[in-house]
Each structure stands twice: as structure tokens, then as C-alpha cells.
Chain A
Amino acid sequence: MTWRHKLVLFSILFAFLLVVFRLFYWQIIKASELSVLGRLQYGTAIKLLPKRGEIKTSDGFPIATNKITYQVFANPKEIKDLKGSAEELASILDIPVSSVSGQLAMDKFWVPIDEGIDIEIKNKIENLKLSGIGFAEQYKRFYPEASLAAHLLGFVGKDEAGTDKGYFGLEGYYDRLLRGEEGIATQVKDALGKPILAKLSAATGGSNGKNLILSIDRSIQFLAESKLEQGIEKYGARGGMIGIMDPKTGNILALSSFPTFDPRSYQKYSEDLFRNTFISDLYEPGSTFKPIIMSSALDANAVTPETKCNICSGPISIGGFEIHTWNDKYYPNITMLETIQHSDNTGMVFVSQKLGLDRTISYLNKFGMGRNTGVDLQGEVSGVLKDRDSWYTVDLATTAFGQGISVTPIQLLTAVAAIANGGRLMEPHIVSAVEYEYGNPIKIPPKTLGQTIKPETAKIMTDIMVNAVNKGEASWTRLKGFRIAGKTGTASIPIAGHYDPNQTIASFIGFAPAEDPKFVMLVVLDRPTTSIYGAETAAPIFFDISRSLLTHFRVPSSTE
């Protein structure tokens, strides 16, 4: 080969390499940039809205899901009879004619007319065979059980950007999980830049929201709500709450508050109603708090069930205040067992003195007072547990019978559930599993928060509470044939530095069956008017629901 041949060959090879390097530059290094430029010329990127996740009860029934609705839009340039079309559309959609006419008069290719319409209305409009009218599918939040568990669910509204956002309850707490992720797709355009109303292409990213499986039992929730509503009406109360929990796992089986709202039309209700009072309202629990203090004193060996109170012959004076029993009946040398049975405030003052301030504060901490329970609902609050130095002598006395201390109902329910669970405090939760679009649901295991009292102490306290049900003020309404542990509560309401003498918060807390509790339940009535006492208002509701629950859990009656 001569040098000319070699030169030509070398030149060709060099040119070839130049082309290869240039191709590498444009196709590899600049690929993404050119791809974006191309897509912009070809079409515009639009958002693909994900489907919001469902919220299902333990039986798999969705109490919050999505239904298909339609957005009606129009291409004004294709409409022949603007006036006639506007009138017909306005009539079917039940919106002002002027609103529709205004939209159709615009010099645009696409205008929205209305949204959120059902398929029946869509079919009616389609039957009119109007030109230039189209429909876009949308999803709207749908609650098949109407206002059942409204406070638990919360509702879906809009944020500042106009996208769906959950508020309150589970919709708020789990909003990120439920809303999913947006995807991007290309809206194809023709040579003149007009959008082609065809299927979107090249969708990337995005995923639908995750589903939540709750521990809520739909039947128990329905039962609790209907009994609570009946009870509020029967006893003339302003409102009420019920919470039912599995003490062994912390699973919430039912949670209900009245007055309530309808999440389908939340805009019509006052914002005050959106708060779940079971987790967001503080109250002085009254005598339902006595089992907490008594079990603490038993656990600390400060008293035994047979210990006799030597200061219970009459009212007790402490720090300038006089402490009476609820009915001004006094039992000299009353035992601790009888103190709970008679709901004796002076007996509890004796217990608090035996327990002492330091141990009282320690046990209150163990039982979770002064901090959130960690329940997975938006809006939980907690009462404040004062510093040791801020306690007066009278505070220690009044705390023993549940006054002068503020708790939320969920805190009290969780604490008493620990007594039912051998002293083990469980974190309450509503969601038991999260369901992804593909794959098995991921279960959320129960969480133990700590050991409050010894199992032996819990057993003793359970027996004391069973005795209180069998022989106390609520014995007239108890369920015979079952060992049910419980305590009534009739708490005074603090108003402007003193307590209201005429109105109370009436409550009952208990668990059954006592030897192997399947549920723990708290019933609270706000200011009942037929009677102020928990034994005569909240207790009957508790036992009415318990009758059905014991059958539901297949608990046989025991001989007693």
C-alpha cells in the first residue's frame, strides 16, 4: 500500500471517528435535553392525578372510597346554538343560566361548565346530543356509611393549590399515604399547537394512594353510634362520646362523638364539630379515675383491699377546702374494696395520703398522664401533669377522686385498659394495616408502652371493680351472668374558678369479661338533664352495648 492509500484510509477513519464522537455527544450526553425539547414541540406535560386510597374497616368494607364523577366541559367554537345549549345544560345541572352562557361565550377551545356530576346526570346531558360538549372522568370522595365514624375519618377538602387534602381524623393524619403521587404525561398537539383530545401518551411516575385497613369493627361502630345517639336523647345530654378498645392490643374497635357532622358536606357545618372530642377535649374525669389511683396504691403496697380508712367518718378538711362524699354518706373504717364500691371520696383522700405525692406522680406518668397516647388521629391533645413543686396538698387529695386533674377520654380509656391487660399499657391505634397497590398489606403490630402495675395488682383491682359493678350504684342496671369490671363517674364541671353545682359529666368505664377482657369501654355524657349521675345515665348505655358485645365476642355467661 502506498502512502497515498494510507493517507486516504486514515482520513476516512478520522472522519468516521468524528461522526461517532458527534453522535455520542448528541445521542448520549444531550439526550435528555433534546428529549424534553422534542416533547415540548410535540406536546405539553400534564399532571396525572392519583386515586386517593380507601379507608376500610376490619371486615374490608370501605367507609371512605372514591366514586366516579364527571366534569362537563365545552368547546364553544363547536356549539351551534349557544343560548339553547346554555339553557338546557343549566336546567339539568341546576346552575344559573348566566354562569353557563358566560362560559360558552368565551373565545376558547375548552371551557369548564361544571364538575362532580353523577353518571345519571351525565347520561341525561349525553341524551341531549349537544355538539361541542364533552366529559372528563374525575374521582370524588365517597362515604358509603354516610356520617358513620365521621370524627374518625375526618374529611377531604382542598389546599391552597386546589388539590385534595385530608383534614382531621385519619384523612388528615394519613394524608400523605392516602393521596398517592402525581404522574406526568404528554398532551399531544397538532402542527398548529392545538391539543388533540386523544389518549395521553408516555405517562411516567405516579402511583395511587395506599389503602388503610382499620381495627374498627363496622358492626360495633354502628352499634355504639346508635346507642349513644339514643342515650343522648333519652337523658337529655348536650353531647356524648364512646370509645371501645381491645385492651390486649390497643386496637380501637369503635370511637364515636356527638354532635357529629357529615363528611360528604362538611362545608355546611361549624368548624367546632370537626374536632374529635374523644382525643381533643380535656375534662375532669371524676370517679372513673379512682381505679388508677387505687391500683397505684395497691401496687406500691401503700394499702391492701382490706385496709381500713381511719379518717372517713365525715368530711375531710384539707388546705381550707372541705371534701365530702357524693351523697354525704360516710362509712367509718371503710375498706378499700368498699371505697370503690361506694365511690367514697374521703376513702380516696386516705389512699392518696398513703400513696404520697412522689409515688402518685410516678404512677400517673406510668399510666400515661401528661402526654399524648400516640393514637394515629390528627388533633390529639394532652392535659398537663404539674411539676412536683406546683402541687398543693389539696391537689393530691382531689386528684385521687378525679377532680383537679384534666385528661382526655382516650388517655383514661388507655389507662384503664392497662388494668384489664395485666398492667401492660398499650398504644391505642386505629390503623391495623396499610395496603399497597401491589403486594400484601403491611400490618402494624401492637406497641407496648410500658408496665404500669404488676399483673397481680391488676387482678386485685379487677376484682374490686367487679365488686363495684355488682354492689355499687350501677348494680341496678348490670348484666347478670357476666363478670364485668367497671366504675361510675359523676364529675363536676369547673366554671370560672368554681364548680357548677347543677351540671356534670356523667360517665362509666369498664371491661368484660373480667377474667379475659375482650373490650374496654368508656361512655361519657355531657351534662345530662334527666339525672346528673353516671350510674343512672352512662352506666345503662354501657351495659346495653355490653350485652350485644358479649354476644358478638361469643362470651358465654358465667354462673355467679
Chain B
Amino acid sequence: MKKPFLIILILFVITIGLAIVRTFISNNIVTSGIVLSSIESKTQELETQNAILSEKLYKLTSLSEIAKKAEKLGFFENRNNFAIFSQRPVALKQ
């Protein structure tokens, strides 16, 4: 008689325990959906802002835009180029 009673008691305790844990976890995560939704909205907003700013940036850094601004500022094409491409020695040991 004692053994079956013990088994039933243990099962009962496990069931109550699981129910308490379930309630505890459910309480904790019940607001996460709202937080998640809020984070997703913020992400979407930032992505939109990023796209809008990227568009402005690309327009301003396009070569056609730079060429127009350069012309207004008085830059012109240099037809007499020279460049030093490698380090020349200052003096050679003889």
C-alpha cells in the first residue's frame, strides 16, 4: 500500500512543480513579444533611414556630381603630368 501511494505522491508533486515552472516562464516571456515587435519596428525604421541617407550619400559622391562641383570651383584638367613613382636615392655610394 505504501509504495503505490508514494508513486502517486511523487507524480503529483512533479505535476504541480511543472505547472509552477510553466507559469513562471510564461510570465517572463509574455511581454517579450511586445519587446520583439518594438525592436523589429526600430530596426525597420533604422533600415529605412539608412537607405535614405545612403541615397543622399551616393548622389553626393558620384563622379558626375564631383565633376560639376570641381568645375564650379575652378579645377581644370592638367595636361602636363609628371610623377615620381619610386624612391630615388639621395646619394649613391661610389
A binding-site residues for B, Cβ under 8 Å = 61-62, 65-68, 119, 137, 142, 144-146, 148, 199, 218-219, 222, 226, 547, 551, 554, 556
Contact = CB atoms under 8 A, between A and B. Distances in A.
B59 to A, nearest CB: 6
Contact of B64 (A68, A137, A146, A547): A146
Contacts, number: 48
Nearest to A481: B82
B67 interface: yes
B61 interface: yes
B52 to A, nearest CB: 6
A142 B54 CA distance: 11
Contacts of B52: 67-68, 119
What's the dominant secondary structure at chain B's contact region?
helix
27 contacts: A61-B61, A65-B58, A66-B51, A67-B52, A67-B55, A68-B48, A68-B51, A68-B52, A68-B55, A119-B52, A142-B58, A144-B59, A144-B61, A145-B62, A145-B64, A146-B62, A146-B64, A148-B64, A199-B37, A199-B40, A219-B63, A222-B63, A226-B67, A554-B83, A556-B83, A556-B85, A556-B86
Contacts of A222: 63-64, 67
A454 to B, nearest CB: 32
Contact of A554 (B54, B58, B85): B85
A67 B51 contact: yes
B63 A145 contact: yes
Contacts of B81: 547, 551
B56 to A, nearest CB: 10
A388 B54 CA distance: 58
A519 to B, nearest CB: 17
A260 B94 CA distance: 61
Given A146-B62, A547-B81, 11 more contacts: A61-B61, A62-B58, A65-B58, A66-B51, A67-B51, A68-B48, A142-B55, A199-B37, A199-B40, A219-B63, A556-B83
A61 B83 contact: no
Nearest to B63: A222
A142 B61 CA distance: 14
Contacts of B61: 61, 144
Interface in B3-56: 37, 40-41, 48, 51-52, 54-55
A148 B59 CA distance: 13
B13 to A, nearest CB: 24
A301 to B, nearest CB: 40
Nearest to B41: A199
Contacts of A148: 63-64
Nearest to A119: B52
A66 B79 CA distance: 38
A67 B62 CA distance: 15
